[in-house]
Amino acid sequence: MEASSSGSAAVGGGVEEEGLRRLHELAGIGRDKICALEAIFGGNVVMLSRKDGKRSFQVHVHIEIPGGIDVSARLSFGAGTLNYREAHDGDASDDLFYKFRVEHLPPILITCLLPSSYPSHQPPFFTMSAEWLDKAMLSSLCHMLDMTWQEQQGVEVIYQWVQWLQSSSLSYLGFDNEIVLSKGYQTCTEDGGDTRACPDNAPPDVTIPRIIRYNDDKCHEAFLHAIHCCMICFSEFRGVDFIKLPCHHFFCQKCMQTYCKMHVKEGTVLKLLCPDTNCGAAVPPNILKILLGEDEFERWETLLLQRTLDAMVDTIPTNGDIQVHAKKMLIY
Ligand SMILES: [Zn+2]
Ligand SMILES: [Zn+2]
């Protein structure tokens, strides 16, 4: 609703525009600013509750990492629990070094409250958090946002903050080539660092899988929306029209369906593997079920059982009784 009213204000002119502006002023301080933010950041801004006539919101800042980046963590087992290793932890012989690569990082969250005198006299009140940054790093980013405000007081600053975080925060933190996860013992309220810096204090065995899962989900989302070429029919389709196998090879739905049905029809189910000639990984049953439909999937199951038993019989050493018994099993 707010985004659409801001849209009409933007296209309207003269008296109408002035009227809308006055309405926004009366409706609540900061409303027009928030409308503008919604228009700029789209789904990355979440409105929070209204407080004393002021409005608060959260911006999800997605960091730009073209080509991806390595994330590493040096870990140690202290008292049976996994934690980030500190420089003063002593004996490093039990250290674990964990490294993985991501193309997407969970966003940095900035929660803002606009004071009534923003932007003429006061900056937005804010807190900052991110799953992959510790308190010292977040404090350093908070400080940088303060500096930006100080340089140009009286100007709308949130958009610049977000842009800077998106494009420059990694190099500012010294993470040009690699992000190093470190300990986040200090909480929001503990001494030291900026009180606006709110690190996620989850242990590494929680944080690391979260970061990996986030990246996997985003990569899959990006795959579904992008255009890809099917290496069987050489036609181009959107990702949603592809079947992606666990081996990461993907082929258009139509080709995969024809391919699977052909093998089931001809009874060559043992050859029903990833169509990439250098791969040969199995096509999992859940995908086959979708491609074949109920009846043909049942036929595939029966055929697979038969072919597997055939193969077992062939490998059993020449012992008349066992062979006869195995063949009887096949018949009944
Ligand atoms: Zn195809
Ligand atoms: Zn494959």
Mean pLDDT along residues 210-229: 95
Higher pLDDT, 188 or 316: 316
Name the domain count of the chain: 2
pLDDT, residue 262, reads: 96
Mean pLDDT along residues 168-194: 79
Confidence of residue 318 (pLDDT cuts 50, 70, 90): low
- What three-state secondary structure class fits 187? coil
On whether both 221 and 72 belong to a single domain, the answer is: yes
Does 34 reside within a domain?
no
Considering 110-124, 199-213, 234-248, the range whose residues carry the highest mean pLDDT is: 234-248
pLDDT digits (tens, 9 = 90+) for 28-46: 445 566 677 777 777 788 8
CATH number at residue 263: 3.30.40.10
Select from 83, 91, 88, 132 the least CA-distant residue to 109.
132
Q: What tokens does 299 get? A: 């036929």
On whether both 196 and 299 belong to a single domain, the answer is: no
Mean pLDDT along residues 178-191: 68
The ligand with the least distance to the CA atom of 275 is: 2
Confidence of residue 105 (pLDDT cuts 50, 70, 90): very high
By mean pLDDT, which of 20-29, 93-102, 105-114, 260-269 is the weakest? 20-29
pLDDT, residue 88, reads: 60
* Residue 275 CA to ligand 2 centre (angstroms): 7
What is the C-alpha separation between 225 and 223, in angstroms, rounded?
A: 5
* Residue 308 CA to ligand 1 centre (angstroms): 30
* Residue 208 CA to ligand 2 centre (angstroms): 27
What is the C-alpha separation between 74 and 85, in angstroms, rounded?
A: 6
Does 211 reside within a domain?
yes
Asked if pLDDT for residue 247 goes beyond 60, the answer is yes
On whether both 122 and 186 belong to a single domain, the answer is: yes
On whether both 209 and 256 belong to a single domain, the answer is: no
Does 20 reside within a domain?
no
Does 11 reside within a domain?
no
* Residue 258 CA to ligand 1 centre (angstroms): 9
pTM for the complete prediction?
0.73
* Residue 90 CA to ligand 2 centre (angstroms): 45
Does 29 reside within a domain?
no
Does 187 reside within a domain?
yes
* Residue 37 CA to ligand 2 centre (angstroms): 44
For CA atoms 42, 43, 44, 46, give the dihedral sign.
positive
Asked whether 211 and 106 are in contact (CB, 8 A), the reply is yes
pLDDT, residue 56, reads: 84
pLDDT digits (tens, 9 = 90+) for 67-87: 999 999 988 877 777 888 776
What is the C-alpha separation between 314 and 88, in angstroms, rounded?
A: 62
On whether both 240 and 112 belong to a single domain, the answer is: no
pLDDT, residue 319, reads: 54
On whether both 68 and 131 belong to a single domain, the answer is: yes
Considering 6-10, 114-118, 185-189, 260-264, the range whose residues carry the highest mean pLDDT is: 260-264
On whether both 68 and 150 belong to a single domain, the answer is: yes
Domain range for residue 304?
229-331
Q: What tokens does 310 get? A: 């055939």
